Amino acid sequence: MTDESLREHPVQGAEVFRGNFLRVRRDTVQLPDGTRTEREYVLHPGAVVIIPVLGEAGDAAGCRVILERQYRYPMRQVIVEFPAGKLDPGEQALACAQRELREETGYRAAEWARAGQMHPLVAYSDEAIDIWLARGLEAGPRQLDHGEFLQVIETSCAQLMAWCRNGTVTDAKTLIGAFWLQQWFGGQWQPQWQPAGAQAP
C-alpha cells in the first residue's frame, strides 16, 4: 500500500484558538476515498530533550544521568524527566539543547550526539522533539526562567531503568531517552559524538 493511498489532502483551514501558550489549528482535509473530514491539532515550534550522561561511561554499570523533578500541572504530579525545552524562533536544535541544559541544570557538555527525533502526539500536535545525548559535563550556575521551579537530580542508569519499569518514570521523552541509553549500552547503536562548538546539523 503506497503512502499516496493513505494521504489526506488539505482543503482549507485556519487557526481556531490562540491562547497565551497554546495555538490550535483546524483543517478540512480530503480523505483517500474523496470524502472530507476535519483535523484539529496544536501548533508547536518544536523542542529538544537532552540525555546528560556523567563520566565517560558507555556501559550500563558505570553510567549515571542527570534528571529533573518538575511539577507538571496537567498531570497534577511531580514528573521525573530529562531536561527539555522549546526551540526559540530560528534556533537550531543543538543550540537549543545546549541552552536548555545550561539554564535548567547549570551543566555544560563537551560532547553531543544526536539520537534522532520523536513525535510525542501524532494525532493532535505537530510537535517534534530532537533527542540529544550530552557528555563531558561541567557543573555551573542554573539560570531558571522566572516562575520555573524544578529539582535537578543525579541517578544511576540502572535506577533509571528500574524507575521506567516500576512506573516512577512515565514521561514519554524520558522513557525514549532510556531506550536510547539501552541501545547504546547493548552495542546496537554507536553515538556519533561531536564537540559542543560544532555547528548543529
Our finding on whether 90 is near a second copy (CB under 8 A) is no
Q: CA 31 to CA 11: how far, in whole Å?
A: 10
Using the minimum distance from each CB to a second copy, give the nearer residue, 7 or 139: 7
What residues numbered 9-28 form the site for a second copy, per CB under 8 A? 16-17, 19-22, 24, 26-27
**Cell 493532535 belongs to residue:** 124
147 CB-contact burial (10 Å; exposed 0-12 / middle 13-18 / buried 19+): exposed
Kindly tell me which residue out of 95, 150, 196, 200 binds a second copy, with binding defined by CB under 8 A.
150
Using the minimum distance from each CB to a second copy, give the nearer residue, 192 or 195: 192
Q: CA 190 to CA 183: how far, in whole Å?
A: 8
Kindly tell me which residue out of 29, 95, 196, 200 binds a second copy, with binding defined by CB under 8 A.
29
Please say whether the dihedral angle defined by the alpha carbons of residues 165, 169, 174 and 176, taken in this order, is positive or negative. positive
- 3-class secondary structure, 129: strand
Displacement of CA 13 from its chain's centroid (Å): 28
Using the minimum distance from each CB to a second copy, give the nearer residue, 133 or 178: 178
Stretch that binds a second copy, among 64-72, 94-102, 104-112, 133-141 (CB under 8 A): 64-72
Stretch that binds a second copy, among 89-97, 99-107, 135-143, 172-180 (CB under 8 A): 172-180
Our finding on whether 138 is near a second copy (CB under 8 A) is no
Q: CA 99 to CA 2: how far, in whole Å?
A: 41
Using the minimum distance from each CB to a second copy, give the nearer residue, 75 or 139: 75
Kindly tell me which residue out of 11, 75, 139, 198 binds a second copy, with binding defined by CB under 8 A.
75
The closest alpha carbon to 109, from 155, 41, 184, 54, belongs to 54
What residues numbered 96-115 form the site for a second copy, per CB under 8 A? none
Beta bridge pairs of residue 18: 23
Q: Which three cell numbers stand for residue 201?
A: 546539523
Our finding on whether 73 is near a second copy (CB under 8 A) is yes
Our finding on whether 176 is near a second copy (CB under 8 A) is yes
